[in-house]
Structure 1
Amino acid sequence: MSTVMITGAGSGIGQALAAEADRHGHDLILVGRRAEPLRDTAGRLSRPARIIDADITTAEGRARICTETDRLDILINNAGQVPAGALADLDDATIAAAIAVNVAAPISLTRDLLPLLTTARGQVVNMGSVFGDIGFPFFTAYSATKFALRGFSEALRREVAPQGIAVTYIAPRATHTPAMDSFHALVGPMAMSADTPEAVARHAWAAIAARRRDSYPPTRERLFVALQRLRPRMIDRALTRLARDPQVIAAARDLTT
């Protein structure tokens, strides 16, 4: 039985990851900014879970998490934001918040918890996105943060391997969560397919349990990632067509007006 910490555990993929971890018999530490959603997640589990309501983007919040954690086998950096819209319409605060939550916080929290993970010869799981391999128009800031998280995962994997720590990067496609509200207007015009949080969690836990280096959805998006790496100009043409589509442009503008 492992002790698993999940950030952003109050809703969406985080809540589904907690339910799946509970099904596998793990002890859970649920982390998020607000206690009430965490209590809702805890109430859905078959065993008691620890709740830490703390802001992972602050040193004070991370210090509280470390103080209240005495054992840790698996850290799941799941908390995130999905800024969407034309780059010209994204303000500084939106960009800074995305970088703080999606990039700086998981790097800093992982650093702070490394002593416990080293003792356990544990595992870091970073919840990325297919958009961390394929840069989508009108998701420039989000794609940038997920590319960064993927790079962090790769570098960290090599750095902590001598300590017996595994690093797993999970890259789901679009998922039906509250975060999807921030870009829902683009789903139709961009013909996006989306999974349920439960399906993402099941697929993620298969990779986590096997301590795999990464995991991509078992759908057409896996092919798109391969094409992005082998034939990037093919993906360029397809996504540039989307960026020229009047319906897509109108939907992107609606997100920031």
Structure 2
Amino acid sequence: MSNEKTVLITGAGSGIGRALAVEAARLGYTPILAGRTIVTLQETADLAGVSQAAVVQADVTTPEGRKALTDAVDGRLNILINNAGCLSVGQLEKLGDDDLLRMAATNLAAPIALTRDLLPSLRRAQGRIVNVGSVFGDIAYPYFTAYSAMKFGLRGFSDAIRRELSGSGVSVTYIAPRATRTAAETEFGPLVEPLDMTLDSAEQVAAQAWSAIHAGKRESFPKGKERLFVKVQRLFPKLVDRSVSAQATAPETLAALRLLRL
């Protein structure tokens, strides 16, 4: 039996996914890189120093894309990292149906469906499911309304599937990064300062994620004020209501909203 440890990473063509892949290769894993754009996936493969055979162009929101990934795994998978995601920001009344459906499909339905499809392979390896959520999956933020809802859902899925798989040998880790310096930052850049957002690099997020995976943690949050706010949110949500509502209605925040690309 091979001692090779495989990790499938969705959304591996850029940002956090790329950083997770590079770190995975450094740690001795064999990454399978999944994404919709072959060129950026190949760039990730080059940076990680892995074979182009590990690159799978696939849209995880489609049955065909998920089948391609199931075939690539070939019956055994040590770690599945559901990282692919998308973001639309702004006042809810200005988000279209396409925005909502795209976020629901990519951020929530796809990781649930892909996990379902790969469970037999994960069971054989007694592997681990890793869902990349967000601090906004605990602290629901105005103007990230739909995105927060999807990440709340992903956190709920993580808890539910962890309990469903109890005793199976398959474990679950939920990763909740805060805002990250990636291409998605262009969607919310004007809100960074008025909402007092702290941004991490993709490499920081990847390092913390792999640390949590190796420690077998059920969930992982960034160090700093966000970790404290998550605890306050769970115990005293009205305090967070007051604080975040004040930010949401501040003149500088409302001015920043007008700069968003909608």
Distance 2:215 2:192 in 1: 32
How many pairs were matched up? 257
Distance 2:164 2:258 in 1: 42
- How many Å apart are 1:256 and its aligned residue? 4.4
Moved more, 45-54 or 204-213: 45-54
- The 8 Å contact of residues 6 and 29 in structure 2, kept in 1 or not, is answered as yes
Q: Please list the CA deviations of residues 69-90 of structure 1 after superposition, one character each: whole Å capped at 9, or x if unmatched.
A: 2131100000001211010111
Distance 2:18 2:72 in 1: 21
| 1:10-21 equivalent positions in 2, closer than 5 A | 10-21=13-24
Indicate the residue corresponding to 1:7 in structure 2: 10
Indicate the residue corresponding to 2:147 in structure 1: 142
Distance 2:198 2:34 in 1: 29
Match of 2:133 among 128, 135, 141: 128
| 1:1-257 equivalent positions in 2, closer than 5 A | 1-48=4-51, 50-70=54-74, 71-257=76-262
Q: Please list the CA deviations of residues 160-179 of structure 1 after superposition, one character each: whole Å capped at 9, or x if unmatched.
A: 12211010000011110011
- How many Å apart are 1:48 and its aligned residue? 2.4
Distance 1:28 1:231 in 2: 41
Gaps of 5+ in 2: none
RMSD: 1.1
- Using the size of structure 1 for normalisation, the TM-score is 0.97
The amino acid of 1:173's aligned partner reads: R
Amino-acid identity (%): 53
- Using the size of structure 2 for normalisation, the TM-score is 0.96
- The 8 Å contact of residues 90 and 256 in structure 1, kept in 2 or not, is answered as no
Distance 2:232 2:215 in 1: 26
Distance 1:194 1:139 in 2: 16
The amino acid of 1:228's aligned partner reads: Q
- How many Å apart are 1:60 and its aligned residue? 1.1
Distance 1:249 1:126 in 2: 32
The amino acid of 2:17's aligned partner reads: G
Q: Following TM superposition, where does structure 1 have runs of at least 4 consecutive aligned residues deviating by more than 4 angstroms?
A: none
Q: SS state of the match for residue 258, structure 2?
A: helix
